[in-house]
Amino acid sequence: MSGPRTLAIVNPVAGKGAGAKLTRRIASDLATAGISADVVTTPAAGEAARLASAAVEDGYERVIAVGGDGTANEVANGLVNTQVALALYPIGAGNDFARALGYPRRRRQLARFLAQARARRIDVGEVNGRIFLNAAGVGIDGHVAERVIATSRVIGSALGYLVGSLVSIATYEPRQMRIRIGDTTRQGRHLVVVAANGTHFGNGMRVAPDAKLDDGMLDVIVAGDLGKWASILALAKIYRGTHVDGRTIVSYRAAAVDVELDQELPMEVDGEAMRTRELHVRIRPQALTVLAR
């Protein structure tokens, strides 16, 4: 076999342990499609970025992130602003970035897809110094991300996002935020602010249906002081991408957004939960090479 020098970085805990099983056979699975790849596993959370950065230094031309959106995010943080291409082998809970790039849902089709995929240059977002691929936000989406881990272990990933969202709607209240989007400033109680680079998050929610990965802009979705019933209706509509009504939920296109908070709140970055008192989000145009349809 010949072709670009390739490294597969496997998250062994992704897919409820599917990554650990794949570690033993992914090289042979890829070989059936003519792809020769070296394989390493992530020793701990956050290590995929270091491994990807080392792969760049070692002369690899492609790095396959074997895991979910969180793994893809970490690997992208090690490849941004290089010519090394990010490829995906999606086995995680959401796989929303893989969906945006046209990857097949069936695992047995992935090796052939990767053999035929083309390289394209896309934008990435940056929030508080960290790269993201799909979306970063603060408010109820961070609250959901904190709860999805526990619920997904019990009822699975698809229902985990839905149940996590319903629980958050029942328990989370809109919070005071000061939001700057270009020349626009909003201040008051808001349910959520999401800066989207891709179209989907939360395992199939079409948060920004008109977003494009290579247009040099973020799609910023802002939900105001929504009550419980309005939030439930918005949740039902977000799977169809019809939640933006121009009144209580509005959309902006911008290269930057800043959010100041009165207190520390949950935020999410490509589905990973953390907490912050402020968000500084920027678009980094054409900063990453990916393999896509």
* CATH classification of the domain holding 224: 2.60.200.40
Statement to judge: residues 184 and 267 lie in one domain = yes
Statement to judge: residues 101 and 180 lie in one domain = no
Count other C-beta atoms under 10 Å from residue 88's C-beta: 27
Q: For 38-75, what is each residue's pLDDT tens digit?
A: 999 998 888 999 999 999 999 999 999 999 999 999 99
Statement to judge: residues 199 and 280 lie in one domain = yes
Statement to judge: residues 175 and 236 lie in one domain = yes
- The reply to whether the predicted model has a pTM over 0.75 is yes
Question: H or E segment at 71?
Answer: helix 69-79
- In-domain check, residue 183: yes
pLDDT higher than 60, residue 153 = no
> Total domain count for the chain?
2
pLDDT band at residue 166 under the 50/70/90 scheme? confident
pLDDT higher than 90, residue 155 = no
pLDDT band at residue 289 under the 50/70/90 scheme? very high
Statement to judge: residues 190 and 46 lie in one domain = no
Statement to judge: residues 182 and 85 lie in one domain = no
Statement to judge: residues 193 and 95 lie in one domain = no
- In-domain check, residue 124: no
Query: CB burial class (10 A; 0-12, 13-18, 19+) of residue 146?
Result: middle
- In-domain check, residue 126: no
* CATH classification of the domain holding 107: 3.40.50.10330
Q: For 198-245, what is each residue's pLDDT tens digit?
A: 999 888 889 999 999 999 999 999 999 999 999 999 989 999 999 999
Statement to judge: residues 273 and 167 lie in one domain = yes
Statement to judge: residues 55 and 24 lie in one domain = yes
Q: What is the phi/psi pair of residue 8, to 5°?
A: -100, 120
Statement to judge: residues 79 and 164 lie in one domain = no
pLDDT band at residue 3 under the 50/70/90 scheme? confident
Q: Which domain, by its residues, includes 31?
A: 6-116
CA dihedral sign of residues 12, 18, 22, 24: positive
